[in-house]
Amino acid sequence: MKLKLLICLLVFLTPIAVHTTHAQSEWDKTVQAANKEGKVVAGIPASAELRKALDDTFSKRYPAIDVELATGRGPANASKIAAEHAAGVRYFDLLISGSLTPLSLLNAGILEPIEPLLILPEVKDPKRWYGGHVWADNAKKYLYSFQAYQSENFWHNTQLVKADDYRGFDDLLNPKWKGKIAILDPRSAGGGTSSWAFFYKIKGEEFLRKLATQELTLSREQRLLGEGLAKGRFAITVGLTYYTLAPFIKAGLPIKPLPEAKEGSYTSSGSGALSVVKNSSHPNATKVFVNWLLSKEGQETYGKAMGQATRRLDVDTKWLEQFGTRASKDFLSFEENQRRENSSEEVLTQLWPKAIKLANDLLK
């Protein structure tokens, strides 16, 4: 009986051992080739803290690979990649940005599929990820979405608005808030656009037409809107995040997030879209960086530096709640996250343009 049990275990475990050995062999060969290339070039968000964190942590793990990080706004990095590609230059290897940014590169045929680059079992295994492997592009190949979270985007002055005054989006139409609502201008990229587009997705055009009659205050200056909320000039703001309001909150001014509306709030991948340039100059170093970035260590490093929440299930994200951010994996089913998601190619290319056009028509 014991012999039969041992044979059964060997039959079951042998394929796993072979797979693990093969993956390790492939990884070792990739790292050796990457060391010879000696460099990887990545476009990343404009954050000095992120740059230092990635450089320090990756360099300790792979000292033979020089990681060159080009910080900047996503569109600026994408424009450089497109221009270089048109000129036959291969400088950038990969881009980390919001999901809207790389769509222009995808449409120009500049990106390559990411899944074939995944080697490490802890990265490749979909069970390590909330929702499995998630892609922002319609083809499910080119834009890997490694984050999913919800930020506090609706805030109120507690001296003017009681929490019970707000239960759903329709409460924003209450006549008593006329002239008392401020929104980060939805006609330009930012949290105001995301909120406006989510209104459009959930409530439709008629709701936005009614909201526009509330004599909204529009601005692209986040601090000015935050100051107006703190001083009671506005009762409610839409589109601002904790980081804008933090100085006022820490000063003890009467600002708090509104309770979540019954319709929910949108979820985002933030600056968590990974794309890889086709025929890059450092293909093996790119594989090493991609696998490290999507590893537990890489996701912890990135998330702490950016204050954004990974989809990796083995990374703690609950600490982000004190900064107005909740990881989708910590409080939503994946199906509900997908209902609320506001950053896929389908949403960005089909819904957002309609919402922005309506904003331009209604908001003067």
pLDDT at 17: 45
Burial of 355 (0-12, 13-18, 19+ CB in 10 A): buried
User: In terms of residue numbers, what domain contains 115?
Assistant: 27-149+269-332
Q: What tens digit of pLDDT does each residue of 82-107 get?
A: 999 899 888 999 999 999 999 999 99
Measured CA to CA, the distance from residue 79 to residue 97 in angstroms comes to: 13
138 shares a domain with 173:
no
Measured CA to CA, the distance from residue 52 to residue 239 in angstroms comes to: 28
User: Mean pLDDT per segment of 10 residues, for the chain of length 364 residues?
Assistant: 56 51 84 97 94 97 97 91 91 95 95 97 97 97 98 96 94 97 91 94 97 96 95 96 92 95 95 96 97 98 96 98 96 96 94 96 91
| DSSP E strand boundaries for 113-230 | 144-145, 149-151, 154-157, 181-184, 217-219
137 shares a domain with 66:
yes
50 shares a domain with 122:
yes
65 shares a domain with 144:
yes
- Domain with residue 288: its CATH number is 3.40.190.10
218 shares a domain with 198:
yes
For residue 18, being part of any structural domain is answered with: no
> pTM for this one?
0.89
- Tell me if 273 sits within 8 A of 183, measured CB to CB: no
Burial of 352 (0-12, 13-18, 19+ CB in 10 A): buried
Tell me how many degrees the CA angle 145-151-152 measures, rounded to the nearest 5.
165
Interior/surface letters 159-190, b for 16+ CB within 10 angstroms, e for the rest: ebbeeebbeebebbeeeebeebbbbbbbbebb
Measured CA to CA, the distance from residue 356 to residue 185 in angstroms comes to: 10
285 shares a domain with 254:
no
pLDDT at 73: 86
Distances (CA, A) of 57 to 87, 258, 302, 314: 33, 37, 10, 18
- Tell me if 209 sits within 8 A of 200, measured CB to CB: no
Residue type, 272: G
pLDDT at 16: 47
For residue 194, being part of any structural domain is answered with: yes
Q: What percent of the chain has pLDDT over 70?
A: 94
198 shares a domain with 116:
no
Measured CA to CA, the distance from residue 151 to residue 239 in angstroms comes to: 10
pLDDT at 24: 79
For residue 341, being part of any structural domain is answered with: no
For residue 68, being part of any structural domain is answered with: yes
164 shares a domain with 113:
no
For residue 16, being part of any structural domain is answered with: no
130 shares a domain with 103:
yes
pLDDT at 364: 79
Helix (H, G, I), strand (E, B) or coil at 38: coil
Which is it for strands 149-151 and 325-327: parallel, antiparallel or unpaired?
A: antiparallel
Our count of domains for the chain comes to 2
Report H helices in 38-115: 48-61, 74-86, 103-107
